[in-house]
Structures are given as C-alpha cells and as structure tokens.
Amino acid sequence: MYGIKLKVWGDYACFTRPEMKVERVSYDTITPSAARGILEAIHWKPAIRWVIDEIQVTKPIAFSNIRRNEVSSVISKANVNSLIKTVSETGTGVPFYQDPNKVRQQRATLMLKDVEYVISAHFELTKNATPDDTQEKHYNIFLRRARKGQCFHRPYFGCREFPVNFELLEDQTPPPPIKEDRDLGWMLYDIDFSNNMSPRFFRAQMHQGIIKIPPILHQEVNK
C-alpha cells in the first residue's frame, strides 16, 4: 500500500447529516466520503480507488449558525427530456429556465468553523487498471500534484462555498490531534453504487482526536 498524509483546513465546513430534511446540520467532523472526495479532486483515475484509513482532528470542534438562500427544487432530467421531445416535434424553441425568485427559500445551516484535519489514506488498483497503471505511477502522480497544490477542481468541505486548503505531509511533523474522546454517532461512510446507490453508515468513535476507519467497511462497499 502506498499511503499518504494530507493536511486540510478551511474557515468553514458543512458535512450535512442525511436525517435532517429541511435545515442543514453538519456532522461534528469530516466524513470518510468527504475526505475521499478531497483526494479525488487532486488525483483520480478509473484505475484507482482511494481508501481512508484514519482522520485526525487537529483543531477544536466548533459550530456556527448562518442563514442561506437556497432553492426548493431543481430542473429534473424528466423536464429536460420532455422539452427536447417537444422541440423535436414542433421545430420551435421553448423558453426553459428556473426563476430563482419563485423557488428561493431561506434555510438555517449549523456548520463547523475553523476546521483542520490530517487525512491518512492509501489507494488500491481497480479492475479497470491496465498493465500501465502501476501503483508507483499513480503514487508519484499524486505526490507531484499535491506538492504543487494542483487539483482538477477546488476541493470543498461539504458545500462548494467552503473551499479546502491542503498540504502534503512528508518529512514535516503533522499537527497534534486534539485531546478529546467523542462518540460521533452513526456517520455516513460512503455510497454503495453497486447496490442501487445505498448509503452505508458506521458508528464513528473519536479517541484522543483520532477516528480510525474499519477496513471491513471498504470491503463491504467495494466488494
């Protein structure tokens, strides 16, 4: 396994709990799926799959409240297909848009502030890997991109308006985790796309600021 350590930090974060239907309420810490998304923003190919091994919380957990303008609905695929069919049958254009003034709603968000984590992870080759897709190759690509601060898109902490700053930890000593134990409850691990996009949860425990991810979770989701 070619492991890496990445320090990530930002001013705000919101890892929304799925059980909250109306208002956004963040988990106490970053989720494994959000951590994986940050690594994929730096380097991802169909030949590799990132696995989160451990998350260290290096700043005290603190929350803040804001109210944001959101929309109550989005343009669906069915509406787009219906429009395409209408245009093809009539040969005339049809106005098609969503008026934000009609669907705008103000919603409260309970988010995290001043966050910082150290993500420990490794990657595995998938069935899509070719003979050219070696572990050394992808490991060195990630190192080169992370050292330069390169990414395919700016990673974010749950919501796109909360961007992530990141730094590859190699020889330098990582910041120490907070000295706190906390039962984080049932946390989203990832989405099982092979099983009708079923969510997978696990009972997250933080011991002295460290959250260890059971390897069995990755085996169950990516079996």
User: What pLDDT sits at residue 31?
Assistant: 95
In this predicted model, what pLDDT tens digit does every residue of 58-84 receive, in sequence order?
A: 999 999 999 888 887 788 888 888 888
Q: Are 14 and 162 in contact (CB under 8 A)?
A: yes
Count of CB atoms situated within 10 Å of the CB of 201: 14
Could you tell me what percent of the chain has a pLDDT over 90? 61
- In this prediction, residue 94 has a pLDDT band, given cuts at 50, 70 and 90, of confident
Rounded CA separation 108/110 (Å):
7
Q: Are 12 and 64 in contact (CB under 8 A)?
A: yes
In this predicted model, what pLDDT tens digit does every residue of 100-141 receive, in sequence order?
A: 888 888 889 999 999 999 999 999 999 999 999 999 999 999
User: What pLDDT sits at residue 154?
Assistant: 94
Report CA 17 to chain centroid distance, whole Å.
13
Render the burial of 147-179: b for 16+ CB within 10 Å, e for the rest.
eeeebeeebbbbbeebebebbbbeeeeeeebbe
Beta bridge partner(s), residue 104: 71
Rounded CA separation 145/9 (Å):
18
The percent of the chain in helix, strand and coil, each rounded to the nearest 5, is 20, 40, 40
Rounded CA separation 211/193 (Å):
24
The structure's pTM equals 0.84
Gyration radius of the chain over CA positions: 20
Domain ranges of the chain: 3-69+108-221
Q: Are 150 and 39 in contact (CB under 8 A)?
A: no
Q: Provide the token pair at 50.
A: 């990132």
Architecture of domain 3-69+108-221: 2-Layer Sandwich (3.30)
Q: Is 151 helix (H, G, I), strand (E, B) or coil?
A: coil
